[in-house]
Structure 1
Amino acid sequence: MKKNICLSSMFTVLLFLILSCFVGCSKNDDKEADKIRVGYLADFSGTSAAAIAKEKGFFEEENLDVELVKFLNGPSEVDSMLAGDIQFAYIGHGAHSLAIQGKVNILFPNGLSKSEQIIVGEWARVNNITDLKGKTIGTQLGTSGDILLDIALRKVGLTKDDVNIINMNVNEIVSAMVLKNVDAVSIWAPYTFEISTLLGHEVTVLASITNYLDEAVFPSSWIVTPDYQNKNEDIVNRFSMAILKAMDYRANNMDETVQIVAKLNGTPVESVVLEKETAIWLDGSDVKSAYTDGTAIKWYEAQQQIFLNSRVISSPVDINNYVQIRYMINNVLLK
């Protein structure tokens, strides 16, 4: 009898534990997803990871309800983020100066750009960078196109004061070149492809960022405001995990990624295919290695030096003040 009572008690306890686990799991499964808005740029680099995370359910796996919001450039994303309209964003090289100024934190890099070009029209009668002196050049100040122009001019002993720079957004830059209202432009893909397609032999690539790799490293990155990160660490961690999964997927499924990007942006697949070669695309293991062996610090130091040389920023800043290397290692990469 005693044995039966004991077995009955054990069965009751076991049943209770199973039911408790079931109820607990159900509560967790039923937890409402956290809603966030994520900014992206409408090119392969600025779209691919976010589009994959949305398409393949990586955000959903991290219990995130994500709305993707398209922007034309990084500075406008940062403005929107500071206003609380979006919580995370992808930025190209130029907007990193705003991170150095403390407005946003860099979570991790997405890739290293190879897409920036200075394109000149045949009507300008320009054969080299030196010939740009006195010419009218369209670019967007504060972007990677602007930085490339500054580097190229400096290398031949010129400054921005030696040329006539017109500051405009990327769509205006393309239009100005097509209408021949400028002599040259300094811009990045996919707009470089658009100009080349529309004007053909009437334009020439005068210089590319690949001509200046001795001093130019253009990381693109995922960002968040310091305030949002401090108040929402769990969401930041889950967002990071989703994007890193997407970056892994991108590395192993490039052709499908092209289709996903084209679908989201309503862009012809053949145009997106061209953008596959515009950067060194990183995956999760690349980020982990770069953050643990110090490589990422060198990338962002080289980038910061570009901003110092072009006087976008006035003094150096400790990389760890804005690049979340320790945070990512401790909270995401080594988990």
Structure 2
Amino acid sequence: MPISRRAFMGALSAGVTSLTVSACSSGSGDGSKIVFGYIADYNGASLLAIADRQGLWKKQGLSVEYKPFTNGPVQIQALDTGNLDFGYIGPGAMWLPASGKSRIIAINTLTYADRVIAQAGISSIQGLKGKKVGVPEGTSGEMVLNLALQKAGMTMKDVKKVAMDPSTIVSAFSAGQIDGAGIFYPLIATIKEKVPDLVEIARTQDIRGGNFPTAFVAGNKVAQQTDRNVIQVLQAANGWRAAHPKESIAAAAKLLKVDEKKVAADAAHVKTMTTAELVAKTENGTVDTWLDGMSDFFVRTGQLKKAPDPSAFYLGDLYTKAYGK
């Protein structure tokens, strides 16, 4: 349902500027310029960093400008207004392409970085009843809070939800202004530097059978040929990342201008797959199962009226046909 998450993000909101990668029209593309949004973490930035390192945009005849964002929903808005052509979203924003606001062109990873955290002395989700809980609406932070509440037989009405952007949650929780938060790594690592005794009371990795995909999305007006060219860049970069995990962390750290150790800690919450695996999981229906699971969840939260067929918003056929071309 995407751009940044903070020691990362202090560096990022302030320190990461838009980056432009120029390319001549020597590949299968038409030499057009595209604007690509990302969240400044390993999930959101590693393939873009690799694409630069490997000269993959040039091979497709594209000129690319990168723009950092703090979350997925803001990117979807930018896609809708034409300020972005492509972007990256985490699982919490999957309801937006499912509702027709964009199209998924490639699955990226499975992520398990989301948590419900609480101040010391609160040891369960029930302990947050009636208390202030910060959440970035429409993101995986809201998703994990909803999951935890559902598991406990509670609803969002049982807590005092306070809508905040991710960076504000960091400062508010650190200052003791909120009792809990639905938030994610690497921001939680930043909070822990100031609140070392915080409690992680719910984690996505504890959800039985839960698969939480991240994805790259395209605006609805982007041409299919450009979709195909970008998919081929992402597929090639993904293959390199799977074969070179340490080098991919270094590449992402360089793009983000943060310490490699921070990126490595972030990457520890991510499950990567080879491009061949992603193609196979698209062809055998596994990806559809992941997306169906997300859509069903968002129907329960009221963010979707009904669960659409994944083919309505995931360009799986184009993804598989682009492989190996």
Normalising by structure 1, we get a TM-score of 0.86
**3-state SS of paired residue (1:285):** helix
Q: CA deviation at 1:98?
A: 1.0
Q: 1:217 — aligned with what?
A: 211
Q: Report how many residues are paired.
A: 301
Distance 1:28 1:280, change over 3 A: closer
Please tell me whether residue 208 in structure 1 is matched to residue 199 in structure 2.
no
Q: Provide the residue aligned with 1:283 in structure 2.
A: 274
Q: Which of 139, 143, 151 is the matching residue for 1:147?
A: 143
Conserved? CA contact 1:90–1:222, under 8 Å = yes
Give the residue type in structure 2 aligned to 1:135: K
1:15-68 CA-to-partner distances (Å, cap 9, x unmatched) read xxxxxxxxxxxx967997221111110111011111111222111111111111
Where does residue 50 of structure 2 map in the other structure? 52
Separation of aligned partners in 2, 1:133 and 1:99:
32
Is 1:323 the counterpart of 2:319 in the alignment? no
Q: Is residue 113–residue 184 contact of structure 2 (8 Å, CA) maintained in 1?
A: yes
The 2-side partners of 1:164 and 1:90 are apart by 29
Q: Is the 8 A contact 1:140 1:170 kept in 2?
A: yes
Are the aligned partners of 1:137 and 1:164 in contact in 2 as well (CA < 8 Å)?
yes
Structure 1 position 241 matched with structure 2 position 232: yes
Structure 1 residues 237 and 177: CA distance shift in structure 2, 3 A: same
Going from structure 1 to structure 2, the CA distance change for 1:29 and 1:106 (only over 3 Å counts) comes to closer
CA deviation vs aligned residue, 1:74-121 (integer Å, no higher than 9, x gap): 111111111111111111112211111111011121011110011111
Partner of 1:227: 221
**SS, match of residue 227 in structure 1:** coil
Structure 1 pair 181–226 and aligned structure 2 pair: CA distance change class (3 A): same
The answer on 1:167 being equivalent to 2:158 is no
Query: Does structure 2 retain, via aligned residues, the 8 Å contact 1:54–1:66?
Result: no
Pair 1:127-2:132 in alignment? no
Alpha-carbon separation, structure 2, partners of 1:106 and 1:40: 14
1:226-283 CA-partner distances (Å, limit 9, x unpaired): 321xxx2222111110111111111111111111111111212211110121121122
**Corresponding residue number in structure 2 for 1:272:** 263
Q: CA deviation at 1:210?
A: 0.8
Taking the aligned partners of 1:177 and 1:96, their CA distance within structure 2 comes to 26
Give the stretch that moved more between structures: 318-327 or 161-170: 318-327
Q: Hey, what's the Cα distance between the residues in 1 that align with 2:239 and 2:319?
A: 17
- Runs of at least 5 residues in structure 2 that lack an aligned partner in the other structure: 1-24
The residue aligned with 2:22 is none
The structure with the largest helix share of the pair is: 1
Matched residue SS, 1:69? strand
- The runs of 5 or more residues in structure 1 that have no matched partner are 1-26
Please state whether the residue corresponding to 2:73 is helix, strand or coil.
helix
Identity %: 26
C-alpha RMSD of matched pairs (Å)? 1.7
Q: Is the 8 A contact 2:108 2:216 kept in 1?
A: yes
**1:166-216 deviations in whole A, cap 9, x for unaligned?**
11111001011111101111111111111122321x2111111011133x3
Separation in 2, partners of 1:312, 1:70: 25
Question: If the length of structure 2 is used for normalisation, what is the TM-score?
Answer: 0.88
Work out the CA distance in 2 between the residues paired with 1:97 and 1:69: 22
For 1:250, which of 231, 241, 247 is the aligned residue?
Answer: 241
Deviations 1:114-156 (A, max 9, x none): 100111111xx31111111111111111111101111111111
Following TM superposition, the consecutive aligned residue runs of length 4 or more in structure 1 with deviations greater than 3 angstroms are 27-32
2:69 to 71, 75, 79: 71
What is the aligned counterpart of 2:102 among 91, 101, 104? 104
Contact 2:125–2:201 (CA<8 Å) still a contact in 1?
Answer: yes
Cα distance change of structure 1 residues 121 and 237 upon mapping to structure 2, 3 Å threshold: same
